[in-house]
Chains A and B, each alone.
Chain A
Amino acid sequence: GESVGLHLPTLSVQEGDNSIINCAYSNSASDYFIWYKQESGKGPQFIIDIRSNMDKRQGQRVTVLLNKTVKHLSLQIAATQPGDSAVYFCAEGGNTGTASKLTFGTGTRLQVTL
């Protein structure tokens, strides 16, 4: 499969537990943020996004929290399942209100143990 990073931080979580993946971003003017999941050999898969006028957004089993004061983004996955094992990337859009020209973080590998 595709290696997306040889020295990624890894989060190990037991099946059924909640996972929290953190991300720090650099551009205080960014107003769009997005989380992707990438499985080995596949392209990134959209999970959830959030704009800077919100501090929380919920999807199916996932919640994204945005703290603009400290430039921090987190992804919470409820009741983690083996299929959630993947590399998770946060990305920020520019300060133009667009969702394009994404700047990606380095990624976090989530390992779900049985």
Chain B
Amino acid sequence: KAGVTQTPRYLIKTRGQQVTLSCSPISGHRSVSWYQQTPGQGLQFLFEYFSETQRNKGNFPGRFSGRQFSNSRSEMNVSTLELGDSALYLCASSFSILYEQYFGPGTRLTVT
């Protein structure tokens, strides 16, 4: 069974731009969560989607948004990029909110 896939793997953007990251969950998984990982703050929860509905949200500004499609694929968007948004963005999927999450390899975003 294929794992969680994320595209693109690497991205370089300029301050003020916006970016969209994509995540394809493991087949059959309906819950998708997003996390931001930085050396300073570690792994922090962004949001979680289940059956196209956002169920949980972390403490991030409104510039961070996401959505989930009917096939469970998910995208997250960051608008008006800041230097501090440089991070590894990780997507995780699970069968449901009651089961363990499996992570993808992440998208490395660099904001210059």
Q: Which of B35-43, B60-68, B69-77 contacts A (4 or more CB under 8 A)?
A: B35-43
Interface of chain A: mostly helix, strand, loop or mixed: loop
| CB proximity of B44 to chain A, nearest CB, Å | 8
Complexed CA–CA distance, A49 and B92 (Å): 15
Q: Which residues of A contact B100 (CB under 8 A)?
A: 34, 46, 49, 99
Q: Which residues of B contact A106 (CB under 8 A)?
A: 42
Size class of the A contact interface (CB-based, 8 Å): 20 to 34
Interface centre among B42, B45, B92 (most CB of A within 10 A): B42
In the complex, whether B55 has a CB less than 8 A from a CB of chain A is: yes
Q: Does B104 contact A (CB under 8 A)?
A: yes
A104 touches B (CB below 8 Å): yes
- Besides A43-B103, A46-B100, 13 new A-B residue pairs in contact (Cβ under 8 A), listed by A number: A2-B88, A3-B39, A6-B39, A41-B105, A45-B103, A46-B101, A91-B43, A98-B97, A99-B94, A99-B100, A100-B31, A101-B33, A101-B45
